[in-house]
Chains A and B, each alone.
Chain A
Amino acid sequence: MLSLPFASTLVAESTTQNIINVAYLVAIILFVVGLKKLTSPTTARQGNFIAGIGMFIALVATLFMENIVTYEWIILGTVLGAPIGFISARKVKMTAMPEMVALFNGVGGGAIALIALSEYFVWTDGNVGVTTDVEVASLLSLIIGSISFWGSIVAFLKLSERIKGSPIALPGQQFINGLLLLGAVGLAAFLLLSTGMDPYMLTVAIAVLAGVLGIFFVLPIGGADMPVVISTLNAMTGLAAAAAGFALGNNALIVGGMIVGASGTILTNLMAVAMNRTIAGVLFGSFGSSGGGGGADAGEGPQGTVKSTDAASAAILMAYAQNVIVVPGYGLAVAQAQHTVREMADELEEKGVSVKYAIHPVAGRMPGHMNVLLAEADVPYDQLVEMEDINPEFERADVAIVIGANDVTNPAAKNNEASPIYGMPILEVDHANNVIVLKRGMASGYAGIENELFYLDQTQMLFGDAKDSLSEIVQELKNV
């Protein structure tokens, strides 16, 4: 009994343990209160702080556990991890936020997988018998944690453009993924049922299979589907943490993990709905392959000519407008033009023009990406309007200026049943009286579809780098 530091059912009932459990309860309450406050912009920062206090209490309480007897490795890990986390969190550019979120998510999953491996090795070496439920939970946390870790690393590499962002898929990818999952689960079942097998080999093999699955799972997904991937990985790490909670008999882990699992699932669903796709459709059929009819044979395609304009005309058009709606997309982040947009809006507001921003739920590479980006440029959050609320306003808008957004503005989603994006909720930019589109060239968007918006009578294209074009517009506005 004395050498059983993990199995929940065997943790001796002691006063210390009771106090620790009460501390966990306090931590859980603070997590929930903090999250509740995170649902309103006015209290969100306070909410994050409260959740942080909860975490601190849980950590300090844990250090008093009777099974924790050596501190040197804890200190070593913390002294290395905490400053790196702190510095990278302070230094990261707001435009790099999606990859940072992916990375922090990944290390959480990695920690869970490592904990599970370590548990197994202790059980083996100490010849400890553990109950089936503990073992199942531990294996689950190993599998999900490994998928989450490696999947997040790939997401990080894609988002930071260290590897190609567009979908990369092997032939028969889904079949291979299925085999990998079957392999990992099969080995886990084998480990559970057999006695006398070498768990060192088996657990490592399970971790490797799950890790490869994580890599293959994220590689074929890219571009505009990233918000779904990131929130899925977030949910997975949460679930893995909850499973680890069962393995360790730790309520703080069960509750903390499950809440994250729930929130990640909600976000994943919201993102998928915003693209009119099922979660399974995004995760298991990459856009390029499932929409085989994309691009070329998507109906007749838009006809007509494209009108181009220059910064001076665009500036005059907006300066004499009453209502201007800015429609930002991922291109805004790529061009790092958020501050320049804000300058343009300031100039316009000085001239008495009302400026609003129309935010599509999946604009960018993670849920809420545009909001963070524009917040960095000091755009007040009440100027950022969600899709349902802004759509009726396009009719009254004198000018809609589209910056680096494409598919989310394509009217084909409403009126062309042959289009692969048909049915996706879009920003109804085509209802505006004038549309200015800032774009590098005529390349199509992520979905590989021509955008009918560009060919409309009221649309003018302003070709060039978004940041340069916006700077020119700002200069011209100053002269108007």
Chain B
Amino acid sequence: MDYANLIQQLTILVLAAFIGFEVISKVPQTLHTPLMSATNAIHGIVIVGALIVAGAASQGTVQVILGTLAVFFGALNVVGGFVVTDRMLEMFKKKPAKNEETA
């Protein structure tokens, strides 16, 4: 087992967890759904793994089916996730400044 490599990856994991907690802990309630939807899109990064599996050389039929299905799911996840988040955020509008109360 390559411990050096494993420890390096664990370091990255822990730091990523801290970044995640730090960046997201201040999100207002208004954005809970878009945030969740955007993080949904980001875990679509699994499509990278799907590409590696589906693009590997010398595969049997089972691997081809599994790999293709994984790419299918991953593409659905990434494209759908980002597009639906954009659609949601497009709707979030501030009250126009010409409001009577701003006198």
Given contacts A108-B46, A112-B46, A371-B30, contact A69 B55 (CB under 8 A): yes
Interface of A is mostly: helix
- A86-123: which have CB < 8 Å to B? 86, 88-90, 92, 94, 97, 100-101, 104-105, 107-108, 110-112, 114-115, 117-119, 121-122
Cα of A267 to Cα of B79 in the assembled complex, Å: 23
- B34-67: which have CB < 8 Å to A? 34-60, 62-64, 66-67
Cα of A45 to Cα of B94 in the assembled complex, Å: 13
CB of A305 within 8 Å of the partner chain:
no
Given contacts A41-B92, A76-B68, A368-B32, contact A104 B76 (CB under 8 A): yes
Cα of A8 to Cα of B41 in the assembled complex, Å: 25
Q: Which of A231, A249, A258, A354 contacts B20 (CB 8 A)?
A: A258
How many chain A residues have a CB neighbour from B under 8 Å? 122
Q: Which of B20, B21, B54, B84 contacts A74 (CB 8 A)?
A: B54
Chain B residues in 8 Å Cβ range of A361: 29, 32
CB of B103 within 8 Å of the partner chain:
no
Interface of B is mostly: helix
Given contacts A71-B55, A237-B43, A378-B93, contact A244 B49 (CB under 8 A): yes
CB of B28 within 8 A of CB of A77, answer no
The interface bits of chain B over 72-93 (1 if a CB of A lies within 8 angstroms of the residue's CB, else 0) are 1111111111111111111111
Among A155-163, A312-320, A380-388, A452-460, the one that faces the other chain is A380-388
CB of A191 within 8 Å of the partner chain:
no
CB distance from A193 to the nearest CB of B (A): 15
Q: Which of B31, B43, B80, B87 contacts A38 (CB 8 A)?
A: B31
CB of B38 within 8 A of CB of A35, answer yes
CB distance from B27 to the nearest CB of A (A): 4
CB of A262 within 8 Å of the partner chain:
yes
CB of A108 within 8 A of CB of B43, answer yes
CB of A170 within 8 Å of the partner chain:
no
- A235-259: which have CB < 8 Å to B? 237-238, 241-242, 244-246, 248-259
Chain A residues in 8 Å Cβ range of B52: 5-6, 62, 65, 67-68, 248, 250
CB of B46 within 8 A of CB of A241, answer yes
Chain B residues in 8 Å Cβ range of A41: 28, 30-31, 92, 94
Q: Which of B38, B45, B72 contacts A241 (CB 8 A)?
A: B45
Cα of A31 to Cα of B20 in the assembled complex, Å: 10
CB of A34 within 8 Å of the partner chain:
yes
CB of A132 within 8 Å of the partner chain:
yes
- A259-280: which have CB < 8 Å to B? 259-267, 270
CB of B76 within 8 A of CB of A81, answer yes
CB of A133 within 8 A of CB of B32, answer no
Given contacts A242-B13, A253-B48, contact A259 B80 (CB under 8 A): no
The interface bits of chain A over 397-418 (1 if a CB of B lies within 8 angstroms of the residue's CB, else 0) are 0000000000000000000000
The interface bits of chain A over 363-383 (1 if a CB of B lies within 8 angstroms of the residue's CB, else 0) are 000111101100110101111
Chain A residues in 8 Å Cβ range of B58: 3, 126
CB distance from A130 to the nearest CB of B (A): 10
CB of B49 within 8 A of CB of A250, answer yes
CB distance from B26 to the nearest CB of A (A): 5
Cα of A224 to Cα of B89 in the assembled complex, Å: 24
CB of A55 within 8 A of CB of B45, answer yes
Chain A residues in 8 Å Cβ range of B71: 73-74, 76-78, 81, 111
CB of B37 within 8 A of CB of A101, answer yes
CB distance from A311 to the nearest CB of B (A): 27
Cα of A391 to Cα of B70 in the assembled complex, Å: 47
Cα of A329 to Cα of B25 in the assembled complex, Å: 25
Cα of A260 to Cα of B1 in the assembled complex, Å: 28
CB distance from B29 to the nearest CB of A (A): 5
Q: Which of B66, B68, B93 contacts A375 (CB 8 A)?
A: B93
Chain A residues in 8 Å Cβ range of B26: 39
Chain B residues in 8 Å Cβ range of A92: 84
CB of B45 within 8 A of CB of A253, answer yes
Q: A39-B26, A41-B94, A44-B92 are in contact. List 19 more A-B contacts (CB 8 A).
A: A59-B48, A73-B54, A82-B78, A86-B79, A88-B80, A92-B84, A97-B88, A101-B36, A101-B84, A104-B84, A122-B56, A122-B63, A234-B43, A254-B12, A259-B20, A266-B24, A366-B33, A368-B30, A382-B95
| Contacts A/B (CB < 8 Å), 7 sampled | A41-B92, A51-B82, A76-B68, A114-B67, A367-B33, A375-B91, A378-B91
Chain B residues at the A interface, C-beta cutoff of 8 Å: 1-2, 5-6, 9, 12-13, 16-17, 19-21, 23-60, 62-64, 66-96, 101
Report the 9 A-B pairs with minimum CB-CB distance, sorted nearest first: A262-B20, A77-B71, A368-B32, A81-B75, A85-B80, A68-B55, A367-B32, A85-B79, A380-B95
